[in-house]
A and B are shown apart, each in its own frame.
Chain A
Amino acid sequence: MPSSDSEDFESADEGRSSPNKRERKKRLSSSNYSDNLESEQDNKKLEPVINKEASSIKENLPKDGWDDFDIEEESLPNNEPQKEETKASIVKPESSAAKKESQTSGWDDFDDWGNDNDNDIKEQPQKTKPQAQNIQEAPSSQQTSTKSDGWGWGWGVDSLLSTATAGISNLTTQVSQGISTVLETGIGAPDPEELARISAKNDTKPNSAEEKMISAETNHEQSNQSSATEGAFPFGSLLSGVTKFVETTGTKVIAGGLDTLETIGKKTMEVLQDGDPGLAKKRAMLGLDSGDKPVLSQVLREARAKADEEDQLREAKREAKAVHYETLFDDYEGLVHLEALEMLSKQVTIRIEERLRTDPDKRQDIKETLQQVAELCEMPDEEDEEEEEEVSEGASKGDALHERLQRATRDIGLKLQFQPLIKQYTEILTWLETDDPSITEKAVYKKAVSSLAQTTALCVELYHKTGEMLLVKSRRSTADEADALTQLTVVLTKHISDLATQFTEKLTSHATEDKDQVNNYITNVFLEAGNSSKYIENAFQLAIPIVQIGAV
């Protein structure tokens, strides 16, 4: 159990001591007048109070499976045996270890208590029955203890209370003592902590003596189950003793605390002024002395500059995000199209593999066909038949791109949508042609990255859509499809590099003083263009199985 629990417990104790007293008196009298035979009944009467108390000291009562009688018996007595034995020296093997600890301080008590509780619960089933049956019969040793629990619970809590309070006073003394040690008691004034400690000791002694006496008495009571009057006396005196003790300790804690605070304050000033009379240096250091106007405005100026700097930093971060290629590519749905295409590609690959498995006779044939298609889809060498078919004169760059795309895919047997790509290209061209000197090189760079990302996204979408349409196409012509896709890839990668070139030209033409930065931008643009080509190439590779499955 964590120590915080025991703290709670202890403070709850202090506050509640007097109501407890009343409750206890009531309970006490009722049990005193009752016969042993009726003890069970009595216990039931007491139960609500007990439960309340038990829960307030943060004990987890077993609520299920046990009848009321059990609960009460476990929840209350389980803290007693230990305590009782501590003072009265009855040896009970299972808690002897706990006993020793409980003598040292009130804190450990609580911890052990929680553990013992568990033990008691386990024991309970065996105990309960015999007790219920023959309460009056001569009890076995175990039973005696169980019975006495019914009587002894009241003082059990009390002794716990007193131990806990003693724990507080000890702690208080120790703490204040510790503080005074730290401060090395440099003040000439009489030491209040010392006084407090002494009086606390004096107070604790009679109390524990009282406790002992009571324990002995209760023990006595336990053994012969004697009359009511005998029980009533020790309880009353003990309770008043505890209350008084709590009161005095409380006063002492407060008084000691105030004294300690004063000591701390004095000592702090001493330390601060040590070698610095009047705190002149420290004031200077903290800027408290120089509170004139120019300095104040200086401070404000600095704060302003700092805020501006932070703003710029944040802006820079936002900008960095805005020109982040991957993010842009995702925003233009490029990533998700690529992913969807990959899903299709995987699905198709599984189908091809299945066919290879289920048709062993044709396996070789299928493999060859697959190989052929793959070869058809190999990218032509860079310089191969480049610029062979020049587009018609006078056509705009956008139209030229459209024409090339159309020509590349004319045999695919599908109606592909190139419009988004053309439209976007036209927009880029228009932007590039506007000769606005206010456009910074940074703006050009940003536009370059976002244009590349968007173009790439559109290209990937084109592959995705082409793949989907190929899969639902009724008549497949694998060779044409393979060729068309290969040509398409050539055109698209060329388009990307064209874009990059145009943007870098724009950057180079920009008259600027910061040559390094521009070079940096140019490098980045080519880098992202390479990225784009990779994505396109990737999409093309993913589309190949879709072409292949048409042939097998």
Chain B
Amino acid sequence: MVDPIFDYQFRLILIGDSTVGKSSLLKYFTEGKFAELSDPTVGVDFFARIIEVQDGTRIKLQLWDTAGQERFRSITKSYYRNSVGALLVYDVCNRSSFEHIPLWMMEAKRHIEPHRPVFALVGCKVDLVGNDNKNGAWREVSCEEARMFAEENGLHHVETSAKTGSNVEQAFILVAQEVYNRIQTGEYKVEDGWDGIKTGFNRPNGMDFNLLEAETVQSTCC
């Protein structure tokens, strides 16, 4: 088992059409493994991993892997509320999965309110593109197109492969770092009754208070 000491816990949720590769992405991220076949997710599954952000702060990512299947939609929407970050996952070889991204984003925004989560647009299965087939005909969503959409909506964009492991870490670190930055700027706070951000077990209680205090002092002197 990993070292249980961490400073913060962030709850991230993965959403997107079924079979785009949410569970595979998480499996690779948490276990470093890729399974060719996997069962469709029932409701929601959980993964966890501890990472470090730039200043060395240890963050436990609690990852909620939602079912993409339509029939679970009514259930999965009850799980959004306590998330501080949402990964909008699509399959670069599946046009409609990308076209549904705005819907997923709207749904997430609506259910996470009043909190404003960090979003990331994550394309999956890039290993299928231009690997065995020379012309890359399998790709149905171009990187530029996705990037443009991401820019328009203020999202981070990354293309990954859970098979080769390409960019998988970055996708999660990107979101974690952004959440952490927003904590630093005071936009996000640890709140009672909201589990998006929690402090770790080993964190002394006074810590956050000090952080906050230091910030106010800074703002008044400048």
User: Does A associate with B in a complex?
Assistant: yes
Chain A residues at the B interface, C-beta cutoff of 8 Å: 321, 327, 331, 333, 336-337, 339-340, 343-344, 346-347, 464-465, 468-469, 471-472
**How far is it, in angstroms, between the C-alpha of A209 and the C-alpha of B211 when the chains are bound?**
53
Contacts of A339 in B (CB 8 A): 195
Top 6 A-B pairs, shortest CB-CB distance: A468-B43, A347-B78, A333-B46, A472-B71, A343-B78, A336-B46
Partner of A471, one of B48, B62, B75: B75
The proximity string for B residues 40-54 relative to A, scoring 1 for CB distances below 8 Å and 0 otherwise, is 001110101000000
The secondary structure that dominates the B interface is mixed
A-B contact pairs, 30 of them (CB 8 A): A327-B4, A331-B1, A333-B46, A333-B48, A336-B46, A336-B62, A337-B46, A339-B195, A340-B43, A340-B44, A340-B64, A340-B79, A343-B78, A343-B79, A343-B81, A343-B82, A344-B75, A346-B78, A465-B42, A468-B42, A468-B43, A468-B44, A468-B72, A468-B75, A469-B42, A469-B43, A471-B74, A472-B71, A472-B72, A472-B74
Partner of A327, one of B72, B74, B201: B201
Query: Which residues from 22 to 71 on chain B have a C-beta closer than 8 Å to any C-beta of chain A?
Result: 42-44, 46, 48, 62, 64, 71
Expressed in whole angstroms, the minimum distance between the Cβ of B183 and any Cβ of chain A is 21
Chain B residues at the A interface, C-beta cutoff of 8 Å: 1, 4, 42-44, 46, 48, 62, 64, 71-72, 74-75, 78-79, 81-82, 195, 201
Contacts of B79 in A (CB 8 A): 340, 343
Expressed in whole angstroms, the minimum distance between the Cβ of B90 and any Cβ of chain A is 24
**How far is it, in angstroms, between the C-alpha of A171 and the C-alpha of B30 when the chains are bound?**
66
**How far is it, in angstroms, between the C-alpha of A70 and the C-alpha of B25 when the chains are bound?**
64
Contacts of A336 in B (CB 8 A): 46, 62
Expressed in whole angstroms, the minimum distance between the Cβ of B23 and any Cβ of chain A is 15
Contacts of A464 in B (CB 8 A): 43
Expressed in whole angstroms, the minimum distance between the Cβ of B73 and any Cβ of chain A is 9
Contacts of B62 in A (CB 8 A): 336
Expressed in whole angstroms, the minimum distance between the Cβ of A61 and any Cβ of chain B is 15
**How far is it, in angstroms, between the C-alpha of A472 and the C-alpha of B44 when the chains are bound?**
13
**How far is it, in angstroms, between the C-alpha of A516 and the C-alpha of B75 when the chains are bound?**
50
What residue of chain B has the Cβ atom nearest to residue A337's Cβ? B46
**How far is it, in angstroms, between the C-alpha of A333 and the C-alpha of B75 when the chains are bound?**
19
Expressed in whole angstroms, the minimum distance between the Cβ of A436 and any Cβ of chain B is 22
**How far is it, in angstroms, between the C-alpha of A456 and the C-alpha of B46 when the chains are bound?**
16
Contacts of B74 in A (CB 8 A): 471-472
Contacts of A331 in B (CB 8 A): 1, 4
**How far is it, in angstroms, between the C-alpha of A331 and the C-alpha of B9 when the chains are bound?**
13
**How far is it, in angstroms, between the C-alpha of A321 and the C-alpha of B82 when the chains are bound?**
27
Contacts of A321 in B (CB 8 A): 4
Instruction: Verify A472–B195 contact, CB threshold 8 A.
Output: no
**How far is it, in angstroms, between the C-alpha of A464 and the C-alpha of B44 when the chains are bound?**
9
